[in-house]
A and B are shown apart, each in its own frame.
Chain A
């Protein structure tokens, strides 16, 4: 270090002075912008010296992503070239970072020992990348994505090809991933949260983004927690996740977030919390020290985006030139800089009591828009696929303009909302020409739809089946409904079958059909493609969708636990006091001393309050606490017992009588057949609970004729009954058919169950289903083609390969143990001492 030389240089540049000395730490966007703003107000007030840690002029950091992607060069993202510094007589000291601030002496010291005095100091140190503290974070090949050096290193690495892992699915991480992917690397993004960019996007938009990135060849792992970066010979070789997955990696980019860079300020004794504390004029706890940009904390907030920075710099410059205005905080908006993906998010889109969501989903165009309105003012917006109106919404949001006049058409964007007559949607439809296209999927014009309505199609469903308008993606449903109302008068429209819930205009049957037809495989995809009007559904449609998807895509669909009713989530029945009851499976109602002993032990050990024989010949253990459930299951599993699914929309029990083995009237082995049937059907999920019984003779001791599927053994074989119910509306079964062998009885059972699983509406038991569809329909559906039962039974057995596993076993082994544990426990000291 050569202090003397440095001091010489100060003297050489020190005179002639124009005035007060302004020293800026940070040659980034905030520091330079602040100087620009000050110069614009008063070019003679300060002698300016700017210190930059990077050995280059001021450039646009947010454009590093296009540089990485090869869409821009460094020259193109320079904001102020050397000319600017020269013309404004600004001394730029780059590549020699400031390492200390002496507030008493009012000077700063650099790494090389240079000392620079100031009258006013401006700290604009920005932020540092957040390095997640995992083993291997210091290995060769682990990069951050913050400055041009990082980009250069990544580009050099990308030239070798291979695979890259980006940790962090936020704005920065996705932009890094995009760049590396365009540079030819195999990219995997690892994101801790279930939704990409969860701070800017809701689940629906996050889903669309994920699907788009995956279609571009990136691998996106959400809900993935990095455990370790694995190295070989000091260099990165893979990333290991908490769940044991190992993703090979030649380079790893940490883009998990940023932290205000406050080290210098802290050491200098300035007030620092998360960021350097500043007032509305960007003044720190020392009146001679200002701070601006990502390093500051203003009114409790730190910003990591560029727009607030411009506003801060204006306020700072006003203050520094003696015309203080004051900065009041910023409303921010975000755009993702990945070519071909239009994504915009602004304000608060988390809704609220009096907030109203306006959602538009246009699946055929891949558009999702959500505008949140509160007290007639926009408070937030998320746009995906079509962001043309982003700025317009953002403007309305910032100005807090009253949107009640344009409320109806708000979601359609500026052109529509501002277009006078178009404000009334039905007037808009009325004014359409006869040949205007209504349904893009099926090419149906307004004239054709009206003709179809005039021809007698007086409901949405009738229109759909007659001229096919709105029968595919459904995005024109609103238009067709308007046409119905216009043509028939609003009162004359037959509303048709009830929709699944308030979140959709589709019926259960439509949704089921479209899931299969359009190959929809996850809940957010269904909601997007079928134009759900709520962001994440409701407690009525979510469990139904979860069931429809698991039925349609066995082996493929991943069960969504948060869309399950508590009983199915905790594999036990919730009771009125918040405790649970547990029913272990007893095949065909048969038990053993070992099982009875295990149940008795569980009852005592966990202080269960009652054991009761159920109507389906099983034992129900009452009064178990949520925390104890995994242990109860563990103990029952140890005795060889599995879950009875007594809590599920699932096969519950197969009730039997003793049959030919013991009974003097028994004609067949009803107990044995019951056990076989239960072994075939247990674990299967259904639209509703499902009960089976096998009676050994027509005396019907197992009450098989009030079950969903009943077998009555007779001398010549087996009578198979369906659609019985012992519930509120008692219904005796209909006789479906008679078969000669156990094998045939089992096949028909499997075939019938699968037909019910695939056709009935969620929460529709077999009794109302059979009545709705008719026995003739059912017989035809099963037996018209001799192959049908076999095909259905094969589909059922295939699905059973995935669902016939004991949910208790996994939980007893610790899977999802969070569900059973409290987050923490509060023990007030006052009470503890007492």
Chain B
């Protein structure tokens, strides 16, 4: 598995083709929250902390439709754009700013890497 160190403003997490449309993949972060990167059927990419605001279900394993994902544990629908729970449910999952450039995916470093603890 490729390992990524915290260099630069953006973290290059590899080619966009690694994630098929309609699916998601995960990135564990040492000392931080696991991140789920989603590729919607219409070709958009989004990244969220991989935890449903309800019971921390792994959103990366949910069914992706439109620009939301349905959590595999209790079917909460989470917006991939805002991380907000949809419908009558209330809660929010942190989003990770990302971009696609030259066919590669980049996550905003400061949103991924936990702040170093004071010694």
Contact = CB atoms under 8 A, between A and B. Distances in A.
Interface in B55-102: 55-58, 61-67, 70, 72-73, 75, 77, 79, 81-82, 84, 102
Contacts of A193: 21, 43
Contacts of A26: none
Contact of B20 (A194, A566, A570, A826): A194
A825 B4 contact: yes
Contact of A353 (B7, B64, B79): B79
A353 B102 CA distance: 26
A198 B39 CA distance: 12
Interface in A178-206: 192-195, 198-199, 202-203
A743 interface: no
Contacts of A535: 41-42, 66
B63 A565 contact: yes
A566 B64 contact: no
A594 interface: no
A193 B41 CA distance: 11
Nearest to B50: A578
A274 B102 contact: yes
A578 B57 contact: yes
A134 interface: no
Chain A: interface residue count, which band? Answer: 35 or more
A203 B64 CA distance: 14
A386 interface: no
A194 B27 contact: no
Contacts of A822: 1, 25-28
Nearest to B51: A578
A537 interface: yes
A194 B43 CA distance: 10
B37 interface: yes
Given A350-B40, A353-B79, A535-B41, A827 B65 contact: no
Interface in B96-119: 102, 112-114, 116
A349 interface: yes
A351 interface: yes
Interface string A110-138: 00000000000000000000000000000
Given A562-B63, A826-B28, A350 B43 contact: yes
Nearest to B82: A353
Interface residues of B, number: 57
Interface string A802-828: 000000000000000011011111111
Interface in B40-55: 40-44, 55
A241 to B, nearest CB: 14
A576 B73 contact: yes
Interface string A760-791: 00000000000000000000000000000000
A539 B70 contact: yes
B11 A826 contact: yes
Contacts of B116: 828, 830-831
Nearest to B21: A194
Given A538-B65, A539-B70, A828 B5 contact: yes
A539 B65 contact: yes
Contact of A562 (B18, B20, B37, B84): B20
A828 B20 contact: no
B64 to A, nearest CB: 7
A825 B28 contact: yes
B42 A202 contact: yes
Interface in A524-546: 534-539, 542-543
Given A353-B81, A822-B1, A824-B14, A829 B61 contact: no
A567 B72 CA distance: 9
Contacts of B25: 818, 821-823
Nearest to B29: A826
Q: Of residues A349, A350, A821, which shows the largest number of chain B Cβ atoms within 10 Å of its Cβ?
A: A350
Contacts of A830: 6, 113, 116
Given A827-B4, A829-B5, A539 B62 contact: yes
A590 to B, nearest CB: 33
B13 A831 contact: no
Nearest to B19: A823
A761 B102 CA distance: 45
Contacts of B13: 823-824
Given A195-B21, A349-B42, A536-B41, A828 B72 contact: no
Contacts of B72: 565-567, 574
Interface in B1-38: 1-7, 11, 13-14, 17-23, 25-32, 35, 37
A372 to B, nearest CB: 10
B101 to A, nearest CB: 8
Given A534-B66, A562-B23, A566-B72, A824 B4 contact: yes
A387 interface: no
Contacts of A819: 23
A536 B39 CA distance: 13
A604 interface: no
A832 interface: yes
A562 B21 CA distance: 9
Nearest to B115: A830
A563 interface: yes
A489 B38 CA distance: 46
B10 to A, nearest CB: 12
Contacts of A274: 102
Contact of B58 (A565, A569, A578, A823): A578
A352 interface: yes
Given A822-B28, A825-B1, A830-B116, A350 B20 contact: no
16 contacts: A353-B79, A535-B41, A536-B65, A538-B65, A542-B65, A562-B64, A566-B72, A818-B20, A823-B14, A824-B1, A824-B3, A825-B4, A826-B27, A826-B29, A827-B30, A828-B116
Q: What 10 A-B pairs are tightest by C-beta distance, nearest first?
A: A539-B70, A562-B22, A566-B61, A539-B63, A823-B25, A566-B72, A826-B29, A536-B41, A830-B116, A578-B58
Given A203-B42, A578-B58, A825-B29, 13 more contacts: A202-B41, A274-B102, A350-B40, A353-B79, A353-B81, A535-B66, A536-B42, A543-B63, A566-B62, A819-B23, A824-B2, A824-B27, A826-B30
